[in-house]
């Protein structure tokens, strides 16, 4: 598809943009443009546009408002020291959006069209990619049902795919620091056969109450346990979890296997490939809260971190539940966690070689 280009005649003045980029926060500011592509059953994807960032007029009977057919993705554009701009593994995001689409009975988007949409937007708004190390332009592709119909017997016939972009600083305003996590017994993120594997907006709507409970309990994030036994650890907040056993040359990594109730993270996948290269064996398996606590108390389990695009790596310092609480290591940021973080960031920002060809220049 060719993109119809409609430039914003009133872009944010450069001085104002620079002020935003100096301290963007996270997910608060948006660039001058967005991409929209329409889908109609029978016709496929059409009307691809780059247009000024603006509200989207919607019919109140649009199916997304009632039955929540909505998917999203998240990835970043990085500015490298040589001035080039890259994204990281964008075809993986495209493939994941299409797997999510299958689950939600939504149309798949050709992977190349997904990546072209990112490129058109980032090229136009390239001045919005922050220069500061560690900062980036967060890209948010999403798709939702626009058909005007309240019937619930069938999925919508029309959809809108949109990409917006948001300059981002550090996901956590205080930088990398260990978080405390809450073991929720009351709330479940995902059940077998449900939507946990899809990057579906409703999963996040359903998580806010659990997150609020964690905050009420004095914690930063909620740990999601399996829906059936409430014992097996799945994810933390909106990140995958990694457990480090041992230290130094003997360190090894365990992460919960993708059982269908976890979001298959691209950061997770990248860690599983990078860790062995650093001499850290990896295993995908199961870990219960009892094993987590016992491992920390015996000293065998040395570090735990969440990983995801937004925060990259978020060390977990302490765990609290209704009837138990413990710390991980000395409650600080672990050495293996930081080594993996540096390696990944190094590839993204071009300070390290990219042995797997993950970086995609725009
Ligand atoms: N788990 C959940 C529930 C998420 O929302 C995300 C974020 O996208 C992740 C894990 C991490 O995925 P990724 O590494 O692809 O950002
Ligand atoms: C992530 O990138 O790790 C996320 O979880 C994105 C979040 C804002 C939904």
Q: What is the pLDDT of residues 152-161, one digit of tens each?
A: 988 999 999 9
Q: Find the helix or strand (DSSP H, E) in which 14 lies.
A: helix 14-22
Looking from the CA of residue 263, the nearest atom of ligand 1 is 1
Protein residue closest via CA to atom 12 of ligand 1:
265
Reading the block at residue 47, the tokens are 């009307």
**Per-residue pLDDT, 90:** 98
Looking from the CA of residue 237, the nearest atom of ligand 2 is 5
The pLDDT of 214-231, averaged and rounded, is 96
Ligand 1 centroid distance, CA of 221 (Å): 14
**Per-residue pLDDT, 173:** 65
Ligand 1 site, residue 196, Cβ cutoff 6 A: no
Over the stretch 57-110, which tens digit does the pLDDT of each residue have? 999 999 999 999 999 999 999 999 999 999 999 999 999 999 999 999 999 999
Residue 53 has pLDDT above 90, yes or no: yes
- Cβ atoms of residues 307 and 240 within 8 Å: yes
**Per-residue pLDDT, 185:** 85
Looking from the CA of residue 268, the nearest atom of ligand 1 is 14
**Widest Cα–Cα separation across the chain:** 63
Looking from the CA of residue 96, the nearest atom of ligand 1 is 15
Ligand closest to CA 171:
2
Ligand 1 centroid distance, CA of 145 (Å): 23
Ligand 1 site, residue 266, Cβ cutoff 6 A: yes
Burial profile 49-86: b = 16 or more Cβ within 10 angstroms, e = fewer: bbeebeeeeeeeebbbeebebbbbbbbbbbbbeeeebb
Question: What is d(CA 348, CA 307) in angstroms, rounded to the nearest whole number?
Answer: 15
Q: Smallest Cα–Cα separation from 305: which of 243, 214, 219?
A: 243
Around 85, how many Cα atoms within 13 Å sit in the side-chain half-sphere? 23
Predicted structure pTM score: 0.96
Tokens 């710390």 locate to 327
Protein residue closest via CA to atom 9 of ligand 1:
239
Looking from the CA of residue 309, the nearest atom of ligand 2 is 2
More confident residue, 164 or 153: 164
**Per-residue pLDDT, 32:** 98
The pLDDT of 261-284, averaged and rounded, is 98
Pocket of ligand 2 (CB under 6 A): 74, 238-239, 308-311
Question: What is d(CA 312, CA 298) in angstroms, rounded to the nearest whole number?
Answer: 28
Ligand 2 centroid distance, CA of 335 (Å): 24
The pLDDT of 336-360, averaged and rounded, is 95
Looking from the CA of residue 267, the nearest atom of ligand 1 is 14
Ligand closest to CA 138:
2
Ligand 1 centroid distance, CA of 42 (Å): 32
Question: What is d(CA 159, CA 71) in angstroms, rounded to the nearest whole number?
Answer: 11
């Amino acid at each position: 598809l060719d993109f119809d280009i409609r430039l914003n005649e009133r872009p944010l003045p450069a001085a104002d943009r620079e002020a935003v980029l100096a301290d963007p926060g996270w997910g608060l500011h948006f660039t001058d443009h967005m991409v929209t592509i329409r889908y109609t059953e029978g016709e496929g994807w059409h009307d691809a546009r780059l247009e000024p960032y603006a509200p989207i007029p919607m019919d109140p009977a649009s199916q997304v408002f009632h039955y929540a057919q909505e998917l999203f993705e998240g990835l970043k554009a990085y500015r490298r020291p040589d001035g080039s701009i890259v994204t990281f593994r964008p075809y993986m995001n495209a493939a994941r959006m299409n797997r999510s689409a299958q689950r939600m009975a939504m149309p798949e988007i050709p992977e190349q069209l997904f990546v072209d949409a990112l490129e058109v937007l980032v090229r136009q708004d390239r001045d919005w990619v922050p220069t500061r190390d560690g900062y980036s332009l967060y890209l948010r592709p999403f798709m939702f049902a626009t058909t005007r119909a309240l019937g619930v017997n069938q999925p919508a016939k029309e959809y809108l795919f949109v990409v917006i972009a948001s300059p981002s600083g550090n996901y956590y305003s205080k930088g990398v620091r260990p978080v405390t996590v809450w073991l929720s017994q009351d709330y479940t993120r995902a059940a077998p056969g449900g939507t946990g594997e899809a990057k579906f907006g409703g999963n996040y709507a359903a998580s806010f109450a659990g997150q609020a409970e964690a905050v009420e309990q004095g914690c930063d994030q909620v740990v999601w346990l399996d829906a059936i036994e409430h014992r097996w650890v799945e994810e933390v907040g909106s990140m995958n979890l990694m457990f480090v056993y041992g230290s130094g040359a003997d360190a090894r990594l365990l992460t919960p296997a993708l059982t269908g109730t976890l979001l298959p993270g691209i950061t997770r996948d990248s860690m599983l490939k990078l860790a062995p290269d650093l001499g850290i064996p990896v295993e995908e398996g199961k870990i219960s809260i009892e094993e987590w606590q016992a491992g920390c108390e015996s000293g065998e389990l040395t570090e735990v971190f969440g990983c995801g695009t937004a925060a990259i790596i978020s060390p977990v310092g302490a765990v609290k539940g209704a009837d138990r609480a413990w710390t991980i290591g000395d409650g600080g940021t672990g050495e293996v966690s930081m080594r993996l973080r540096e390696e990944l960031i190094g590839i993204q920002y071009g300070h390290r070689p990219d042995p797997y060809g993950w970086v995609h220049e725009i």
